[in-house]
Structure 1
């Protein structure tokens, strides 16, 4: 049964997890890799989180030498695509470098009851959009095992960016056997050369539900 059919139930049940993806300073307006309107979702994510007893946060956590940074490839610029051993890689502006202000979670995020923080992209030689499996498609983050051991059945995804880390995380959660939904109004996209429309097509084809935050409360507003 897709998550959208559970909209009226009490989401405080720990079998439901809210996965809050990459609400970090470098993805906010003015940041190194800003997602348009990224900061606008923070109050809504806070409101959503109050309806869940089980929340997991993610952080991009790159070393300065990370392979995805255009600055580490002579002759290349941000948003170029480079072929790496694991496949095509978009080259990004240097962002979310470990232990820098840009890598910190947005100061307006109020989810003190979050149970775990998954840091991804910390291997220098491989990128990681997904909260579950890195871009080489074989290196796990450990999130799948954690969610299974804590009894999670349904994963509700929100955050930044819809077409990259949110979509990849949702697809991998679905592939791991969880019921999955992306909360559209609690996410924002980069939309690089049609990437948002492409992400929604892949999500729909995989059976990931597309929901609005109001569906979780059964009302028009949280």
Structure 2
């Protein structure tokens, strides 16, 4: 490839091993998505100005992992258990550390008031320092080759590091914690994406969760941070993402919602940068 890069950014959401085949929270279709994403990057290196890669970075004792919770029988909840505010008030589930009990009562109440996903106990995934946390090889090779060719760096954005809140969106936590600024709205990233690049291409995992919540936040704040540029400058790769198993409906609803809002939704082989 040759020539000066054009002003296009890629925002790749959580392309990590644990969301791909063999991972603890593997998303059906993610491996094929990753190959298409990598091919698109390889074919358009000279047109990409920046690549942002978000990374789920969990501690084991996270509010959405089983070890955070217990019951009167000293049992942990099964994976994919959904814990409601009523469950906590009734004593069905409680925080394993008593000092967190008031927080989980408040937290689940806030989730329900904001009409967010119910607190779900996920398989432990993307733990800091594990292989599952690393970028899937197909995408990693493509972004490293791009970085080497243009003597630049990939922008890695770690999320979900705070154990007392979930963070599907790269831009803010499900319930921002008042005393933890990093869980609040990331206005700097919104402004950088909205004001620096001609177009932003979004892909990754999963369309039902982290991609969906990230793009919804980007779209909601785009007019303010982009100077009223058209929403169509955001390109969503429909075959560069897949839903978590059993959440297929949520993934479909997200894509349809983004089309209705004016986001450009394309397959990888339809993208012309």
TM-score (ref. length: structure 1): 0.82
Q: Is 1:173 matched with 2:218?
A: yes
Query: Which deviates more from structure 2 when the two are superposed, residues 19-28 or residues 64-73?
Result: 64-73
Q: CA deviation at 1:120?
A: 0.6
Residues 198 and 191 of structure 1: CA distance in aligned 2, closer, same or farther (over 3 Å): farther
Residues 147 and 217 of structure 1: CA distance in aligned 2, closer, same or farther (over 3 Å): closer
The RMSD of aligned alpha carbons is 2.4
Question: 1:53 corresponds to which residue?
Answer: 49
Alpha-carbon distance between aligned partners in 2 of 1:175 and 1:71, rounded to the nearest angstrom? 34
Question: 1:3 corresponds to which residue?
Answer: none
Question: 1:30 corresponds to which residue?
Answer: 22
- 1:80-95 to 2 correspondence within 5 Å? 80-83=81-84, 84-87=108-111, 88-95=118-125
Residues 202 and 69 of structure 1: CA distance in aligned 2, closer, same or farther (over 3 Å): farther
Question: 2:126 corresponds to which residue?
Answer: 96
1:195 to 250, 254, 261: 250
- 1:68-147 to 2 correspondence within 5 Å? 68-74=64-70, 75-83=76-84, 84-87=108-111, 88-108=118-138, 109-110=140-141, 111-112=143-144, 113=147, 115-136=154-175, 139-141=184-186, 142-147=188-193
Q: Is 1:213 matched with 2:268?
A: yes
**Which whole-Å deviations, capped at 9, do the CAs of 1:102-142 have from their partners, x for residues lacking one?**
11111222202253001110111111111212212561355
Point out where structure 1 has 5 or more consecutive residues left out of the alignment.
1-9
Residues 69 and 11 of structure 1: CA distance in aligned 2, closer, same or farther (over 3 Å): farther
Question: 1:6 corresponds to which residue?
Answer: none
**Which whole-Å deviations, capped at 9, do the CAs of 1:125-178 have from their partners, x for residues lacking one?**
1111112122125613553244356x1353211111111111111111111215
4+ residue runs over 6 A deviation:
none
Q: CA deviation at 1:100?
A: 1.0
Bigger radius of gyration: 2
Normalized per residue, the structure richer in helix is: 2
Alpha-carbon distance between aligned partners in 1 of 2:4 and 2:121, rounded to the nearest angstrom? 38
Normalized per residue, the structure richer in strand is: 1
Q: Residue 95 of structure 1 contacts residue 103 of structure 1 at CA under 8 Å; is this kept in 2?
A: yes
Q: Residue 161 of structure 1 contacts residue 188 of structure 1 at CA under 8 Å; is this kept in 2?
A: yes
Q: Residue 129 of structure 1 contacts residue 169 of structure 1 at CA under 8 Å; is this kept in 2?
A: yes
Q: Residue 118 of structure 1 contacts residue 143 of structure 1 at CA under 8 Å; is this kept in 2?
A: no
Point out where structure 2 has 5 or more consecutive residues left out of the alignment.
71-75, 85-107, 112-117, 148-152, 177-182
Count of equivalent residues = 207
